[in-house]
Structure 1
Amino acid sequence: MVTDQTDGTDQNGQTDPQERDRQAVSDFVERFAAQLVEAGMTRMPARVFAAILSSDAGVMTSAELGEQLKVSPAAVSGAIRYLSQVNMVSREREPGSRRDRYRVHSNQWYEALANRDNVLKRWEGTFRDGVARLGANTPAGHRLAETLEFFEFMESELAGMMRRWREHRERVFGAS
Structure 2
Amino acid sequence: MAQEPSPEQVSQFVERFAGVLANSGVPSMSARVMGRMLVSPTGTMTASELAEALKISQPAVSGAVRQLLQVSFISRERLPGSRKDHYRIRDDVFAAILERRNNALGEWESTSRSGADLFGHDSPAGRRLLEAADFFAFIHEDMNQMIKNWRAEHPTH
C-alpha displacement of 1:118: 2.6
Moved more, 40-49 or 111-120: 111-120
Residue 30 and residue 141 in structure 1: after superposition, are their counterparts in 2 closer, same or farther (change >3 A)? same
Q: Secondary structure at the match of 2:154?
A: helix
Q: In the alignment, does 2:3 pair up with 1:27?
A: no
When normalised by structure 2's length, the TM-score is: 0.85
CA distance in 2, matches of 1:143, 1:84: 38
Per-residue CA deviation, residues 42-92 of structure 1 (Å, 9 max, x unaligned), is: 321111110011112222111110010011111011111222233322223
Moved more, 152-161 or 98-107: 98-107
- When the two chains are superposed, the root-mean-square deviation of aligned CA atoms in Å is 2.3
CA distance in 1, matches of 2:131, 2:80: 51
Q: Secondary structure at the match of 1:60?
A: strand
C-alpha displacement of 1:134: 2.2
C-alpha displacement of 1:157: 0.7
Residue 93 and residue 124 in structure 1: after superposition, are their counterparts in 2 closer, same or farther (change >3 A)? farther
1:123 aligns with 108
Q: Secondary structure at the match of 1:90?
A: strand
Could you tell me which of 30, 37, 40 is aligned with 1:52?
Answer: 37
Residue 46 and residue 159 in structure 1: after superposition, are their counterparts in 2 closer, same or farther (change >3 A)? same
Greater helix content: 2
Q: In the alignment, does 2:114 pair up with 1:148?
A: no
CA distance in 2, matches of 1:116, 1:40: 10
Residue 90 and residue 143 in structure 1: after superposition, are their counterparts in 2 closer, same or farther (change >3 A)? farther
When normalised by structure 1's length, the TM-score is: 0.77
2:69 aligns with 84
CA distance in 2, matches of 1:129, 1:98: 52
For the Cα contact (< 8 Å) 1:52–1:58, is it kept in 2? yes
Q: Which runs of 5+ in 2 are unaligned?
A: none
Aligned positions, number: 157
C-alpha displacement of 1:98: 4.1
C-alpha displacement of 1:102: 1.6
CA distance in 1, matches of 2:69, 2:133: 28
Q: Which has the higher contact order (CA 8 A, sep 6+)?
A: 2
Mark the structure with the bigger radius of gyration.
Answer: 1
Q: Which runs of 5+ in 1 are unaligned?
A: 1-12
Letter of the structure 1 residue corresponding to residue 99 of structure 2? A
